[in-house]
Structure 1
Amino acid sequence: MRVVIAGAGAVGRSVASELLENGHEVLLVDRDPKAIKAEAVPDASWLLADACELSSLEEAQLNRCQVVIAASGDDKVNLVVSLLAKTEFGVPRVVARVNHPKNEWMFNESWGVDVAVSTPRIMAALVEEAVAVGDLVRLFTFQQGDANLVELTLPEDSPSIGKRVQDVSWPADVSLVTIVREGRVLVPTGETPLEGHDELLFVSIPEREHELQELLCPHDQAKTQPASR
């Protein structure tokens, strides 16, 4: 997969290193010569250019990209890059960094953003995820498709304990994608049994989250909304 990252600061370089380790092709773009640190990520390609200019994105060959990541420290830059990537080059997946929570409402499909990554929101969700057993925690929202990645740690008294995945009557528009069990990541099959303290990760539309909570923890009648918003 070819990925272009606009913004070669600490965040952009860290993301690039992770993607390269997973075998992807990465180009880092930044207009600040001081940010061009090829020795920091030697396996990446580098381009000294302003990612807000159409000519720079043409030089970066965004038409060959599967993913663009707008990772600069400026929300205005990230929005412009996202919009150009989606509207001018038709990039299938655009991920944008939100630096200031007050701007988060703008990071949506209208600006070409498929996934908005807000550090304060993720940190709050991870804190809640760490302490909440039996609470449905919203980790983040996929802007395109109106779906959320949510997590729930099964309490010992859940009625789903001991059932196989295929025997649970999951709500419509809900998909169990991963089970984290004793530090191991499991890809669930229909035969996989559910155990106490399993961390279940789902993709769900917002309207089904209450049903999912009630299915797995019906004794918590007061919990009608996910723990994180």
Structure 2
Amino acid sequence: MRVAIAGAGAVGRSIAQELLENGHEVLLIDKNPRSIKVEAVPRAEWLLADACEIASLDDAGLERCHVVVAASGDDKVNLVVSLLAKTEYGVPRVVARINHPKNEWLFNESWGVDVAVSTPRLLSALVEEAVSVGDLVRLMTFRQGEANLVELTLPEDAPLAGQLVGSVTWPRDTALVAILREGRVLVPSPDDTLEAGDELMFVASQDVEDELGDLLSAH
């Protein structure tokens, strides 16, 4: 998979390193010469250019990219890059970084954003996830599909503890995508048994979250 990352700061370089280790092709784009640190991520391609300009994105060959990540520290730049990637180059997947929570409402399909990642919101969600048992915690929003990645740690007295995954009638537009148990990641099958203490990861539409929380909670 070919991925272009607009913004070669610490965040962009870290994303690039992870993707390269997972076998993907990565292009880093930044207009600031001080951000072009080839020695930091030597296996990536580098382009000194303004990612908000069509000519730069033509040079980057954005039409050949499967994913674009708008990872700069400027929300205006990330929105423009997202919009151009989606509307001008038809990039299938656009992921954008939100730097300021007040701008979160802008990062949606109207601006070409498929997945918006808000660092403050994500940190807040992870804190909740660490201390919450029996409460549904929203970790991430997938804007285009109006679906969320949510997590719940199954409490000891949960009614579903001991039941088979396949025997549960989940709410509509809900998918159990992973079970975290004793340091392992399990891909759930219908024959797996839910256990107290399991961290359950779901992708679910926003309007069924309350129903899902009620089903999983002990109350």
SS of 1:141's equivalent in the other structure is strand
Amino acid at match of 2:56: S
Aligned-residue identity in percent: 73
More off after superposition, 207-216 vs 193-202: 207-216
SS of 2:16's equivalent in the other structure is helix
Contact 2:9 2:35 in 1 (8 A): yes
Task: Kindly indicate whether residue 196 of structure 2 is the aligned counterpart of residue 200 of structure 1.
Answer: no
Equivalent position of 2:141 in the other structure: 141
Structure 2 distance, partners of 1:182, 1:35, is: 40
Contact 2:165 2:189 in 1 (8 A): yes
Equivalent position of 1:222 in the other structure: none
Equivalent position of 2:2 in the other structure: 2
Residue 61 of structure 1: CA displacement? 0.6
Q: TM-score, length-normalised on structure 2?
A: 0.99
Residue 218 of structure 1: CA displacement? 4.8
Amino acid at match of 2:122: I
Amino acid at match of 1:152: L
Equivalent position of 1:33 in the other structure: 33
User: Runs (4+) of structure 1 moved beyond 6 Å?
Assistant: none
Structure 2 distance, partners of 1:75, 1:206, is: 25
Q: TM-score, length-normalised on structure 1?
A: 0.94
CA deviation string 1:150-180 (max 9, x = no partner): 0000001111111111011111110000100
Equivalent position of 2:214 in the other structure: 214
Counterparts of 1:176-195 in structure 2, within 5 Å, are 176-195=176-195
Equivalent position of 2:24 in the other structure: 24
SS of 2:76's equivalent in the other structure is helix
Structure 2 distance, partners of 1:59, 1:68, is: 15
Equivalent position of 2:170 in the other structure: 170
Structure 2 distance, partners of 1:9, 1:168, is: 45
Amino acid at match of 2:134: G
Task: Kindly indicate whether residue 88 of structure 2 is the aligned counterpart of residue 88 of structure 1.
Answer: yes
CA deviation string 1:51-110 (max 9, x = no partner): 000010011111101100000011111000000000000001000011111111111111
Structure 2 distance, partners of 1:199, 1:164, is: 15
Give the direction of change, closer, same or farther, for the CA distance of 1:48–1:72 in structure 2 (3 Å limit). same
Residue 140 of structure 1: CA displacement? 1.2
Contact 2:155 2:218 in 1 (8 A): no
Structure 2 distance, partners of 1:73, 1:79, is: 11
Structure 2 distance, partners of 1:38, 1:202, is: 38
Equivalent position of 1:122 in the other structure: 122
Structure 2 distance, partners of 1:172, 1:218, is: 21
Q: Which runs of 5+ in 1 are unaligned?
A: 220-229
Task: Kindly indicate whether residue 90 of structure 2 is the aligned counterpart of residue 112 of structure 1.
Answer: no
Equivalent position of 1:78 in the other structure: 78
